Amino acid sequence: MTASLTLGRIELVNFSGEEGRDRIRPVRQCALERTRSREDELLRFVLDPDNRVVPDIKRKLPGRGVWITAEHEAVARSVRQKVFAKAFRRAVAVDPDLADVVTDLLRRAALQDLALANKAGCVVTGFTKVEKALRSARPVVLVHASDASRDGARKLDRIGPVRPADGADGAGPVTWFASADLSSALGKENVIHAAIADDGAGRKFLWSAKRYISYLGTRLAAAAVADMPAQDKE
């Protein structure tokens, strides 16, 4: 059950939450498509002192914001169609590669959240430890490096049950980051497999990782194939 309420220029949508609790989520309008969506489905952009368009990934920067659907193509189209100048109602400077800039920021934000989850004790790595975590009662999400061998990944996939990364039936483990990325974020060498606790800081990482994959869409699938070990591409 949902209900909406408008306060000033911000529309709030009331969603019935888990355990009967209500969550209030602001709804914004995409400046490109003119559709209305929850804030977590859009990206916010602001102007810096030099009138340059800046992505506000954490939605905390001061100033008037312009909202765009959180998809690579939507941001790229907004640049090509000069949507930001129209939305801000002034001449603005826009990086022609803004969509790719956002890609890098979302990726780094997800990996930073992974590092925080690790510090909070929500991450285990190494095949044996991950296998043990999968067999425990604590809900976890399985992570494979995008360049992991299929054989090792399949052995862990078969253990289950494991909560899907996006909460949808049939979804698989997180496979969106290369081993070098995971290793750097976790401060360990050669991280191929990990298990992330589905609570607290672990859940925050899973949310930001999902936002990254959702933004890239099919682009990330192509990148994953490029990262795949040669023996698995045959």
Together in a domain, 126 and 213: yes
Query: Rounded mean pLDDT of the chain?
Result: 83
pLDDT reported for residue 7: 36
Together in a domain, 112 and 6: no
pLDDT reported for residue 160: 64
Together in a domain, 114 and 196: yes
Together in a domain, 213 and 124: yes
Number of folded domains in the chain?
2
Q: Which of 31-45, 92-106, 163-177 is least confident?
A: 163-177
CB burial class (10 A; 0-12, 13-18, 19+) of residue 195? buried
How many Cβ atoms are within 10 Å of 174's Cβ, its own excluded?
A: 25
Q: Which of 127-136, 144-153, 220-229 is least confident?
A: 220-229
Together in a domain, 11 and 30: yes
Together in a domain, 47 and 125: no
pLDDT reported for residue 113: 97
Share of the chain above pLDDT 90, in %: 68
Question: Mind listing the pLDDT tens digit for each residue in 15-27?
Answer: 344 433 445 678 9
Together in a domain, 163 and 123: yes
Together in a domain, 116 and 130: yes
Average pLDDT over residues 194-209: 92
Together in a domain, 85 and 112: no
pLDDT reported for residue 137: 82
The H-assigned helical ranges of the chain are 72-80, 83-88, 98-119, 127-135, 150-157, 179-186, 200-216, 218-227, 230-233
Task: Name the domain boundary from 96, 112, 143.
Answer: 96
CATH of the domain at 19: 3.30.1230.10
Together in a domain, 117 and 152: yes
Question: Mind listing the pLDDT tens digit for each residue in 60-89?
Answer: 999 999 999 999 999 999 999 999 999 999
Model confidence at 215, pLDDT cuts 50, 70, 90, reads very high
Together in a domain, 26 and 138: no
Q: Of 113, 120, 95, give the one whose Cα is nearest residue 174.
A: 113
CA angle, residues 110, 100, 217, in degrees to nearest 5: 65
Together in a domain, 30 and 137: no
Q: Of 76, 103, 114, give the one whose Cα is nearest residue 223.
A: 103
Question: Mind listing the pLDDT tens digit for each residue in 139-175?
Answer: 889 999 999 999 989 999 988 655 545 443 335 689 9
| Ramachandran sector of residue 69 (left: φ over 0; alpha: ψ -120 to 50; beta: rest) | beta
pLDDT reported for residue 159: 86
CATH of the domain at 201: 3.30.1330.30
Cα separation of the two ends of the chain? 48
Domain of 165?
Answer: 102-233
Is the pLDDT at 230 greater than 60? The verdict is: no
